[in-house]
Structure formats: structure tokens, C-alpha cells
Amino acid sequence: MQKIIILDFGSQTTQLIGRRVRELNTFCEILPYNKFPKDDPDVIGVILSGSPLSVNQADAFRLDFADLRGRYPILGICYGAQLMADTFGGKVESSDSREYGRAQLQTIDADDALFKGIAPDAQVWMSHGDTITHLPQGFEVVASTPTVKHAAYRAADGEPLWGVQFHPEVFHTLCGRLLLHNFVVDICGSQQDWSPAQFVESTIAELRQQIGTDRVILGLSGGVDSSVAAVLLHRAIGDQLTCIFVDHGLLRKDEYTEVMGLYANLGLNVIGVDASQKFYAELSGVTDPERKRKIIGKGFIDVFEAEARKITDARWLAQGTIYPDRIESMNITGKVIKSHHNVGGLPEKMNLKICEPLRWLFKDEVRRVGKQLGIPQLLIGRHPFPGPGLAVRILGDITPEKVRVLQEADDIFISGLRQWPTEDGDVLYNKVWQAGVILLPVQSVGVMGDERTYEQAVALRAVTSTDAMTADWAHLPYDFLAKVSNDIINHVRGVNRVCYDISSKPPATIEWE
């Protein structure tokens, strides 16, 4: 399958370049800058990412262009563009005025293949402290802004090589999609055949080949990734797959039963384990968020392992790990800095091999694949939910009674979001990335009827986001918030005050703990 290689020099937007290429139905791999796959016949082009470094630093990341030049079309972005200019004999210097934010192109060469169809005054997004002051011999300017002369350049002799000092991958570069389309499709010749249907078909064939007649176990969480991985595997190997769903007692109201029902409808073989009492006992009196997480993580592994050991002939552990999990777990030198094994240590202990069928997909692609597999929207459209569940939304110690109160309040908020219509015929739930209620360790005075009350406060949290790395609080309609507040106070015993969290991430986080 054709692929674009994105060499990562450590920029925060490298992943975005990958997403944009995938949006062009083109497969791509993001690799550390020094890991170019020299012998891969499927490579059709190379993109060099930005970097927090300066090419003038002694320890700047360098590249051996002998592997690339003359073999593939190359697009250097920001640091990538500066690195090429510097390597080929140009000059990069620290710029007097640092170039950040919006800028308008002023002149462009309208005949240039990379800029085909792009308005001469298109808006771009700059973010660099260095600037290219002299282009190497044999290179020429393609676009400038009022302050950046070499905003884009190319090789003058027709070699397919470009450098842009702005970021075409970010939303604010309005012409960015077209520019990347020009590069990936027109210049590199992508046939744009990377699609959910194609992915499902080829992955099923690969899984059959990889697994043969072995047995596989998979931990389901009720979330999108593990559910899609399970259905994909089930398509490939049928009943050789056994799934395990652990209820730690910190799920949403009725979630365990509902999700088990959805899995049964999908034909999955799922062992459900209600371990809530174990978790409540172990969490009793614990207030520190990190200790809560550790207790739940270890408890989960214990329960999962006990069940998994009953499947004595299992050879594989399947996981719903997705691409961003793996990219985050590597730094640009390729060293693993954080392991994403949900059931840490288990594969080694039980001598299981790891199978990660979604390892190349971004979150939105997982949803598209899920849709392709016929998984109901109720499952694939679900908001993300933290592994430790409501434990990180009950500030302070956890008791079954607090879990009940929070489940009731959360249910009112979430079902409210699912029902509240929006102008475009959708519902509010689908307009937010994630929502939930937090039970605060605070009591306040209220009045209900003629009675003075002294009860708990809850906070509603709803955010918009594309990847949970940054998030904004969702601007939910006042009428909706008023109704939810009313419903919670009237129906959830023990709560007399509702607040709305209007903090963005950063500096706050999505969860409170």
C-alpha cells in the first residue's frame, strides 16, 4: 500500500500532519527523524516535520539526505524547511522579530505545483524563531509574506522538493489542506485508496494469517477502541476470541448491563466480572488521586488475570491501542518512554503475544472503521471515559453511597445531553467531546420547601476538543444548564447545588483528579 513517511523532528504538530495526510485517504507513518525506512517499496513521498530545536544548535537533529533526494518528493515544514536550506548551503539565522501566529502570503508563484489553486494572499500560520536568510544555490522563492521573504521555496531545476516555513497542517493555515493535497496527491501520486472498508478487509486477512487457529483474549472497557478491536477480531477469527469485561463498580449508572447487552447483540463472547465489592473495599478511605489510580490499575490486572488464566490455551492478548497512544509512547529517538499496555506485565507473565489491530489508526478513523463494521452509533459515538471511572470524579474518599449519588447526577446530565436538540437536527451530546459530573467534597447551605439543607455540591463538566490534549469548556445553552441543575437538585437526594466548570485545558485538565 502506498505510504507517505513523516519524519518527526519533535514538533507538537507532527501528529496533525499525519491526520491531514490520512484525511486525504492516504496511508502514512510517523517515524523518528533518523529512522527512515530505506528499503520500503511502498513509500511515495516524505514530509519533514517542525521541531523545537534550531538548526544552528550543536545538537540539532540532522538527516542524511542521500536516502531521500532524487528518490522521493520531499516537503520540509518549518524546521524541515530550514534544515534543508542549511544542509544544502543556504543560511538560517535567528530572526529579529520572532514569527508567530497568523500571516498573509503576499506573493506566490501561481504556476507552482505545490501552490496550485491557492489564493495569492492566503492566510498561513507561522511559528518559528529562526528564519532562512539565504536560499542554497539552485533553489528559488515560491511565496513570501511581508516579513518572511522565504516563506516557501523549491528546487529550481524541477526536482520535487519544497520547503515551507509556515505550518500547513494547522487549522489556521486555511490553504493548508489544499497545499497538502497538492503535495500528496498531485506530486507524490497518491491513489487515495486508504479507506475504512479497505482497512477492514486487509486487516481481517492479516489477522487470520497472524493468529491462525490460536485463541485470543481481549479486555473490553465499554469504550470505542476496545469495542472496535473486538468486533474486528471477531470478524476475523470468530469464537477463537474471548472478551473479558471487568466492572470495577465505578462505571456510569446501568452502564455494565447496557454495554454487556450491546456486546451480546454484536455476537461477541464476553465474560463479565462484577468485582465492585473488591474495588470498594480496597479504595475505602483512600483520598489521594494517584493512589486511587494505582489501586484500580492493580485491581483490574488481578481480576483480569484470574479470568484470563481460565482460558488455558490462550496465546494472544489483543488490545485496542491506537496510533496516538504509540506515538506518545515514543520519543523522537525511538525510545519507549511510556508503556501503553492496558494490562501491564500480563503478556510476559502469561507468555502471551500482543495483537493490536488498531495500531495505525487515529481516533476518528477508529470511529469510521467501527461504523464500517456495523457497530451501533450508541457504542461508537460514546464519549471517552477514564479507565478509573468515577473514582477520579469523586473528590476525596470513595463510598458506595457517593458512587450512587454521582451516578444519578451523571445520568441526568448525560441523558439530558443525548436528548437536547441542536439547530442542525443533532443533539448536544454529539457536539461535545466529553462530559460528566464531579462530586465535590463540599457541603453548602440550601433551602428546600421550608427546610434548611446542608448537602453536597456537584460540578458539571463538558468540553469540546479534538484529541483531549487541549480542550475548551463547552458553551452549553443556559436553558439546558438550568434544566439539568433543576433536575439534579430535585431528583438526586443529597445534592443541593450545581456548578458549571468553565475552565479550559490548559491550564486546567478535563478530569478534576
**How far apart are alpha carbons 448 and 383 in whole angstroms?**
34
Is the Cα torsion angle 43, 46, 51, 56 positive or negative in sign?
positive
Size of the site for ligand XMP (CB under 6 A): 11
Nearer to ligand XMP, 73 or 249 (CB): 249
Q: How far apart are CA 341 and CA 349, in angstroms?
A: 13
Say whether residue 384 binds ligand XMP (CB under 6 A): yes
- Site membership for ligand XMP, residue 344 (CB under 6 A): no
Chain centroid to Cα 471, Å, comes to 12
For the bound state, the minimum distance from the C-beta of residue 457 to ligand XMP, rounded and expressed in Å, comes to 20
The alpha helices in 223-354, defined as continuous H runs, are 224-237, 255-265, 276-283, 289-310, 323-328, 346-349
Task: Give the distance, in angstroms, between the CA of residue 494 and the centroid of all CA atoms in the same chain.
Answer: 36
Count of Cβ atoms closer than 10 Å to residue 278 Cβ: 16
Instruction: Say how far apart CA 178 and CA 259 lie, in whole Å.
Output: 41
With respect to ligand XMP, which residue has the nearer C-beta, 384 or 446?
384
Mask 431-460, x = binds ligand XMP (CB under 6 A)?
Answer: ---x--------------------------
Work out whether 69 is an interface residue with ligand XMP (CB under 6 A).
no
383 DSSP 8-state letter? P
Q: What is the 3-state secondary structure (H, E, C) of 147-185?
A: CCCCCEEEECCCCCEEEECECCCCCCCCCHHHHHHHHHH
Q: Which of 115, 386, 456, 496 binds ligand XMP (CB under 6 A)?
A: 386
Q: Of the ranges 9-17, 40-48, 384-392, 443-451, which one interacts with ligand XMP (CB under 6 A)?
A: 384-392
Residue closer to ligand XMP, measured from CB, 81 or 390: 390
Number of residues that make up the chain? 513
Alpha carbon distance, N-terminus to C-terminus of the chain: 43
Give me the catalytic one of 28, 78, 175, 355: 78
Taking the complex as a whole, how short is the minimal distance between the CB of residue 280 and ligand XMP, in angstroms? Answer: 18
Nearer to ligand XMP, 73 or 222 (CB): 222
CB 387, min distance to ligand XMP, A: 3
We find the least distance from the C-beta atom of residue 296 to ligand XMP, in angstroms, to be: 8
Q: Would you tell me how many other CB atoms lie within 10 Å of the CB of residue 182?
A: 22
Q: Which is nearer to ligand XMP, 215 or 293 (CB)?
A: 293
Asked whether position 468 contacts ligand XMP by CB under 6 A, the answer is yes
Applying CB under 6 A, does 314 fall inside the site for ligand XMP?
no
Q: Judged by CB, which is closer to ligand XMP: 444, or 466?
A: 466
Instruction: Establish if 387 lies at the interface with ligand XMP (CB under 6 A).
Output: yes
167 as an active site residue: the answer is: yes
Q: Choosing from 28, 128, 150, 167, which is the catalytic residue?
A: 167
- Whether residue 340 contacts residue 325, with contact meaning beta carbons closer than 8 Å, is answered with yes
Taking CB under 6 A as the criterion, the residue among 116, 172, 215, 505 binding ligand XMP is 505
Identity at 338, one-letter amino acid code: K
Shortest spacing between CB 342 and ligand XMP, in angstroms:
8
Site for ligand XMP in 282-301 (CB under 6 A): 293
Question: Is the CB of residue 329 less than 8 Å from the CB of residue 339?
Answer: yes
CA distance 329 to 148: 35
For every residue of 304-319, DSSP letters joined together read HHHHHHHSTTEEEEE-
Q: Should residue 510 be labelled a site residue for ligand XMP when binding is judged by CB under 6 A?
A: yes
Does residue 128 have an active-site annotation? no
Question: Which is nearer to ligand XMP, 192 or 509 (by Cβ)?
Answer: 509
Catalytic residue among 29, 99, 169, 356: 169
Strands 215-220 and 241-247: parallel
> Do the beta carbons of residue 263 and residue 270 sit within 8 Å?
yes
Among 58-66, 112-120, 124-132, 380-388, the segment contacting ligand XMP (CB under 6 A): 380-388
Residue from the set 18, 80, 168, 388 that interacts with ligand XMP by CB under 6 A: 388
**356 φ, ψ to 5°?**
-130, 80
234 is catalytic: no
Residues 191, 185: contact at Cβ < 8 Å?
A: no
Of 240 and 434, the one with the shorter C-beta distance to ligand XMP is 434
Interface ranges with ligand XMP (CB under 6 A) = 293, 384, 386-388, 434, 468, 505, 509-511
Instruction: Write out the catalytic residue numbers.
Output: 78, 167, 169
